[in-house]
Amino acid sequence: MGVPTESAGSLTDLFAPRRVAVVGATDREGSVGRAIVENLAPFGGEVVGVNPSRESVLGVDCVDSLAEAGDPDVAVVAVPPDAAVEAVRTAGEVGIGSVVVITAGFGETGSEGVARERDLREIAAEYELDLVGPNSLGVIGTGTGFNATFGPDAPLEGSISFLSQSGAFVTSVVDWARDRGLGFRNVVSLGNKAVLDEVDFVREFDEDPETDVIVGYLEGIDDGRGFIEAARACETPIVLVKSGRTDAGARAASSHTGAIAGSDRAYEAGLEQAGVLRAQTVQELFDAAETLAGQPLPEGDGVAVVTNAGGPGVMATDAVGDSRLSLSSFSEETTSRLREAMPDAASVHNPIDVIGDADVSRFRDALAAATADPNVGMATVIAAPTAVLSFDALAETILAIREETGVPIVACLMGGESARIASGALSEAGVPAHFDPARAIEGLDALDEYREIGSREYDDPMSFDVNRERAREVLDRATERGDNRIGVEATDLLDAYGIPTPEGAVVESPGEAERVARGVEGDVVMKIVSPDILHKSDIGGVRVGVADGEVADAYEDLVARARNYQSDATVLGVQVQELVDTEEGVETIVGMTRDPQFGPLLLFGLGGIFVEVLEDTAFRVGPVSEREAREMVGEIDAAPLLRGARGREPVDEAGIVEAIGRLSQFVTDFPEIVELDINPLVATPDGVCAIDLQLTVEP
Amino acid sequence: MGVPTESAGSLTDLFAPRRVAVVGATDREGSVGRAIVENLAPFGGEVVGVNPSRESVLGVDCVDSLAEAGDPDVAVVAVPPDAAVEAVRTAGEVGIGSVVVITAGFGETGSEGVARERDLREIAAEYELDLVGPNSLGVIGTGTGFNATFGPDAPLEGSISFLSQSGAFVTSVVDWARDRGLGFRNVVSLGNKAVLDEVDFVREFDEDPETDVIVGYLEGIDDGRGFIEAARACETPIVLVKSGRTDAGARAASSHTGAIAGSDRAYEAGLEQAGVLRAQTVQELFDAAETLAGQPLPEGDGVAVVTNAGGPGVMATDAVGDSRLSLSSFSEETTSRLREAMPDAASVHNPIDVIGDADVSRFRDALAAATADPNVGMATVIAAPTAVLSFDALAETILAIREETGVPIVACLMGGESARIASGALSEAGVPAHFDPARAIEGLDALDEYREIGSREYDDPMSFDVNRERAREVLDRATERGDNRIGVEATDLLDAYGIPTPEGAVVESPGEAERVARGVEGDVVMKIVSPDILHKSDIGGVRVGVADGEVADAYEDLVARARNYQSDATVLGVQVQELVDTEEGVETIVGMTRDPQFGPLLLFGLGGIFVEVLEDTAFRVGPVSEREAREMVGEIDAAPLLRGARGREPVDEAGIVEAIGRLSQFVTDFPEIVELDINPLVATPDGVCAIDLQLTVEP
């Protein structure tokens, strides 16, 4: 929705051009070119056809080439693939800034198509073209009656702007929404997204003052981080279906679009962090969109339920229980007001049961009292058909009270034809109406979720004074020896980024080993340090719990074992470290995998069975803010174990959060790290300590 | 649906009477009595009014009293409460076997109403009346056009039989279903369920050969065990919404019906064990019902998706991923058959994408090939609107193929008005059609779930040779001393029911203590045994890890502490037991709470944080069969920990199952036990051992 400004969005020509050229205009029955010309008939601006063999098509004048088309704002291209590429080049040459490529046969087909799409991308870059598609159904801007698609219908005018990676889904939705009385503002079928993608259209729709909600269907997001930034900056609610959620769905999506689907965990985390409402199904998508498009934001999460039927009132209450919402407790004043207005048999508590003989005026009294209560943020009205109730009159009453009070209301008219007709009237006036009380409550839930999102502050990623150069050197050293895994350097890396490790040092003599061991409390752990020995434990190269008096002997023994294993092994020394009692603290895991779309995907969980058996994990796309790191720690099921469950002292949660932040900074600084695990990071009441680090670098 | 038999159901008179008397027949505008007489107009049988002040009402002859009504099969009572009670008595006296009490003002109101309802129940018992209500909307049997309700509409004829604890919900559903083309067989509004309840109508509907699915809306089930038995015996699918699922919903339901809602955990377990499909929302209820009513059962859980649009195909695949179903892999033969019939750009793997230019014949080819594949158990057809596709023709094709193949099919016609009309035609012919692919898949999911339920064997509860008399004595002893909790007798009770306990005995001298301690391996646990000392630990009355040489001293010390605490305390001795190393095994919990509706609700989980922090628990209503006990153990998230996760040896799972079974038998044998916990029951690879038992008896 954005703040209305003088400057229109940067892609305005695509949705509200003054003049449009249709390359491939024709009157051939069943052709795409014809459908586009027909769909442009109601358009308020000028239309010119480009077709060298015709003077006019269905009343639209034609020219031989785009170069002669008289300076259109947008060219819609619907000719065979090679000709389409040429048309786009001509558009660039003659200074047409926006192009919609309907033509298919590009990246979604074989290698020839992929090459052709690359050409298209290069031409677009050369001429700085705003290019939609290829393989797009087209674009629609209802403000000017502009419908440059080959779909069968034009949408009603409304305030939902819609972007879709499936053209057929656009057709379906537009047709279905017409029948329901639901309108759209702008619609774009993204096609192959050779140039413009979801990031561009989220920005564009947000700049449009007539757009109240952005709805999307996506099978993939190419630039995850860019999308997060665009969505966070967007002041309009965004509701998305990102399909390919499940393994089977992801396979279907990638065979359909030719793109790699990416991990749904990353999408789930990234969309949440972006402040996007993610819908799982088409129904959820439009239930949420319709509620967000027509309703003001609630002032609180309390819901009032007004019903003439007890059973459906209970169902609505269950749905409230399933949601993030709460059932409002009415003030004393509201209750007495209701008691005065209602018959004795009515229930004046929430849900308000106005009982079966209620006419519209009793519904009005109840709804007016409920919406005036300070504990009520939103309301739902549920009506079963009775002899004394007119659904039409009830719809009018609901609209009037919504207008007077500014409280969001969703309706459930639980009947047949007359309920359907009254529901349509409510829907057109911006009040969603359903048969199922659960769907009404889910719509309100989306509204409340956006209330929270809209008030979010997106903090900067956590940032610490670290020794990036030192880490660079250590990683380079590993890369130089052709090793993509890090062994003993782990400690150096953790030190460089300020993540606590056990006390100790790498030493090169038995005496030095004894000195280090004396400096730390209790027994020590000793490990051979050699680039030639990967699996230290296998050759007995690790000694746990060495007491003070045995340190020198242990040193000699470890070196001897290394020589025994490989006589010419380079031995850099022995690492002597404090033995951390992992029993005393809680073992946690902080990890990262690099997602192709979103970049570093950070993981937090408790060690051992919690991650491995119970899969009790939290994910965020990095780099993370302190709030996000705190959320990760708080949202695992086992979080109470960190917070003093079962009589234990709480561990240093702030220390865990800081370790996540430092790790997030580390993996952001070094994109060549593709996988990393600190396992365990032991957390005690006094702090945290990284016992082991594994990482994989992709050179 | 049941096997068609000659003998009609026992409540047939309620849904297909020959003659009906309406007590309170009137033509007063807006009255219940008038609505009933009007609704009975299309009824094929005879109607007589009972109204002493009228000779006829709206063309229906009236008599002065039910006694003169000429032997009706059913009396519908719609007169004020006291007169209604009298009418029911008269019905009994003159031998009318079935009564529907529409009148409200009984148990749902104050104490007067409660007393009145008790009278009604007593009269019904005296005359063995089949009584519906009071406070019922009435009953409907579409087979004879019998509509004895005061609702505004009659339903279409169909094969769904519907029982509802909310009268308004009946009105809503009947009206809505009419508009959708969905029909009903029998409908009953249960009202206050003074006599007949859900158990009776599940039995009745199952006996009716014309009923294909039983749908219910319930706010409570009075006789949980009876319902489980009736549902298990029922050969017709049952789909239920049991509302009051959430805390808020349960409060709303009990204020609405005046009944205590009971624990949703018990309902969840009980309905699952009963083989009932539980829907969460109205939409789920009827999506499942419609699919079950019109479709044959699938032969496997594999789904074929046929679509002309890639995006919606991906959405359907995601929905399959969310469900218990799988996406079928096609045989070589199917793939080649599809390759021959489809254009090159089509996808011949599942989901089959017949692409945007597909007409009905291409859909037919694809669907025919898919449904012929042995890996395909069911199919969904998804169609976006295109210029070359007629939804009407597609609907016909779907019906034809369903007919030819017997494979269940659900449709998604993803468009507006024409899709809605074609969907209505499909719906009337028994093929559900939706806009959202997820709903189509959820319908198929319900079908597959019922395929599993229909093939279930309900085994008898586990039963063991136990010493019930001994347990009786021990419990009586506790009850006699006025104690509702069990202390040291725990071991005796567990022994009586064959649940393993640590080795040991209660001894009365230091020497005896030494002898017992020598008989068990390792150190022992010693506890003072005194009915006067409830909290042994508080007075130092428990010693853990007593070595052989210290046993005699420990005995003296424990007795001294008891005397010190209370000089006249009755000391029965000291319990000397094997010290079980709980670290070596896995600690589990087996517990029971007694649910007012369902009886013993058994719990299983792992000890410590797993139940207390992670709430990782499994519930079943007891007594349980071996299969049910096995399911309890298997369904907790932490089950892998019992099965050798992380390199440990698997514990004796059969031993846990047996302990659950023995406990189930124990709590079934002694209904006075209201709460019980074995915590922990330690499971090792060699067996199980109950370390502690707490139980509460309600005298």
pLDDT of residue B261: 47
> For residues B504 and B576, what is the distance between their CA atoms, to the nearest angstrom?
5
**Beta carbons of B646 and A609 less than 8 Å apart:** yes
CA distances from B111 to A349, B119, B258 (A): 21, 13, 11
Contact indicator for B363, B381 with CB cutoff of 8 Å = yes
DSSP B109-151: SSHHHHHHHHHHHHHHHHHT-EEE-SS--EEEEGGGTEEEE-S
pLDDT of residue A488: 63
Crossing angle of helices B81-94/B111-127, nearest 10°? 10
Q: Least CB-CB distance to B609: which of A252, A320, A646?
A: A646
Cα angle for residues A442, A447, A448 (degrees, 5° grid): 95
Q: How confident is the model at residue A647 (pLDDT cuts 50, 70, 90)?
A: confident
Contact indicator for A376, A328 with CB cutoff of 8 Å = yes
Per residue in A498-521, pLDDT (tens digit) is: 999 998 888 999 999 999 999 888
Per residue in A344-354, pLDDT (tens digit) is: 889 999 999 99
Alpha-carbon distance B244 to nearest alpha carbon in chain A (angstroms): 6
Relative to beta strand A573-578, strand A504-507 is antiparallel
pLDDT of residue A397: 97
Collapsing DSSP to helix, strand or coil, A463 comes out as coil
Written as six digits, the tokens of A75 are 């060219």
Q: Which phi and psi angles does A291 have, rounded to 5°?
A: -65, -45
Q: B416 — contact with chain A (CB < 8 Å)?
A: yes
Crossing angle of helices A332-341/A360-372, nearest 10°? 170
Q: B210 — contact with chain A (CB < 8 Å)?
A: no
Q: A436 — contact with chain B (CB < 8 Å)?
A: yes
B contacts of A179 (beta carbons < 8 Å): 415-417, 419-420
CA distances from A38 to A570, B356, B552 (A): 78, 19, 103
Q: How confident is the model at residue A8 (pLDDT cuts 50, 70, 90)?
A: very low
Q: How confident is the model at residue A249 (pLDDT cuts 50, 70, 90)?
A: confident
Q: B252 — contact with chain A (CB < 8 Å)?
A: yes
Provide the chain A residues 631-660 that lie in CB contact (below 8 A) with chain B: 637-638, 640-641, 645-646
Written as six digits, the tokens of A189 are 């079928």
Question: Is the predicted pLDDT of residue A387 greater than 90, yes or no?
Answer: no
A contacts of B647 (beta carbons < 8 Å): none
Fill in the amino acid letter for B345. Answer: A
> For residues A463 and A625, what is the distance between their CA atoms, to the nearest angstrom?
9
Q: Which one of A176, A314, A390 makes the best mutation probe of the B interface by having the most chain B beta carbons within 10 Å?
A: A314
**Beta carbons of B311 and A637 less than 8 Å apart:** no
pLDDT of residue A180: 83
Written as six digits, the tokens of B163 are 């029982």
Collapsing DSSP to helix, strand or coil, B97 comes out as coil
Q: A674 CB contacts (<8 Å, ≥6 apart)?
A: A593, A594, A696, A697, A698
Cα angle for residues A519, A525, A526 (degrees, 5° grid): 95
Written as six digits, the tokens of B599 are 């009886």
Fill in the amino acid letter for B198. Answer: E
Contact indicator for B455, B665 with CB cutoff of 8 Å = no
Cα angle for residues A78, A108, A161 (degrees, 5° grid): 65
Contact indicator for A366, A376 with CB cutoff of 8 Å = no
Alpha-carbon distance B10 to nearest alpha carbon in chain A (angstroms): 28
Tally the C-alpha atoms within 13 A of residue A382's C-alpha that lie toward its C-beta: 30
When the pLDDT of each residue in chain A is averaged and rounded to a whole number, the result is: 91
Instruction: Give the mean model confidence (pLDDT) for residues A230-244.
Output: 95
Q: B321 — contact with chain A (CB < 8 Å)?
A: yes
Relative to beta strand A302-307, strand A378-383 is parallel
Question: Is the predicted pLDDT of residue A3 greater than 50, yes or no?
Answer: no
Q: A309 — contact with chain B (CB < 8 Å)?
A: yes
Query: Is there a cis peptide before residue A600, judged by omega within 30 degrees of 0?
Result: no
DSSP A12-78: HHHHS-SEEEEET----TT-HHHHHHHHTTT-SSEEEEE-TT-SEETTEEEESSGGGS-S-SEEEE-
Contact indicator for A675, A681 with CB cutoff of 8 Å = no
Q: Least CB-CB distance to A327: which of B248, B326, B353?
A: B248
Measured between alpha carbons, how far apart are the two ends of chain B, in Å? 44
Collapsing DSSP to helix, strand or coil, A96 comes out as coil
Beta-carbon contacts below 8 Å between A and B? 288
The closest alpha carbon to A407, from A434, A431, A439, A428, belongs to A431
Name all domains of chain B by residue range, CATH numbers in brackets: 12-291 (3.40.50.261), 296-454 (3.40.50.261), 503-578 (3.30.1490.20), 586-697 (3.30.470.20)
Instruction: Give the mean model confidence (pLDDT) for residues A16-41.
Output: 94
Provide the chain B residues 483-522 that lie in CB contact (below 8 A) with chain A: none
CA distances from A546 to A348, A522, A578, B31, B325 (A): 74, 9, 10, 93, 56
> For residues B416 and A22, what is the distance between their CA atoms, to the nearest angstrom?
28
> For residues A414 and A416, what is the distance between their CA atoms, to the nearest angstrom?
7
Q: B102 CB contacts (<8 Å, ≥6 apart)?
A: B24, B32, B36, B76, B77, B78, B133, B134, B135, B136, B137, B138, B150
pLDDT of residue B305: 98
Alpha-carbon distance B342 to nearest alpha carbon in chain A (angstroms): 16
Q: What is the mean pLDDT of each run of 10 residues along chain B (699 residues)?
A: 46 93 94 94 95 94 94 96 96 96 90 94 96 96 94 91 96 91 94 96 96 96 94 96 85 62 84 96 94 92 96 95 95 96 92 93 97 97 92 97 95 94 91 95 96 92 96 86 69 93 90 90 87 77 88 91 86 87 85 92 90 90 96 95 85 97 96 91 93 84
pLDDT of residue B607: 86
Which sign does the torsion angle of CA A62, A66, A71, A74 carry?
positive
Q: In DSSP terms, which residues pair with B543 in a beta bridge?
A: B526
Collapsing DSSP to helix, strand or coil, B522 comes out as coil
Contact indicator for B141, B14 with CB cutoff of 8 Å = yes
> For residues A377 and A300, what is the distance between their CA atoms, to the nearest angstrom?
4
Q: B592 CB contacts (<8 Å, ≥6 apart)?
A: B600, B601, B602, B603, B622, B663, B667, B673, B675, B676, B677
pLDDT of residue B699: 67
Collapsing DSSP to helix, strand or coil, B265 comes out as helix
Q: A468 — contact with chain B (CB < 8 Å)?
A: no
Written as six digits, the tokens of B185 are 């067989």
pLDDT of residue B250: 79
Relative to beta strand A302-307, strand A352-353 is parallel
pLDDT of residue A257: 53
Lowest mean pLDDT among A41-55, A87-101, A242-256, B621-635: A242-256
Q: How many residues are recorded in chain A? A: 699
Residue with tokens 């809680």: A586
Q: From start to end of B512-651, where are the E strands?
A: 524-529, 542-546, 573-578, 586-595, 599-606, 617-621
Residue with tokens 């981080």: A225
> Percent of chain A having pLDDT more than 90?
74
**Beta carbons of B168 and A608 less than 8 Å apart:** no
**Beta carbons of B438 and A280 less than 8 Å apart:** yes
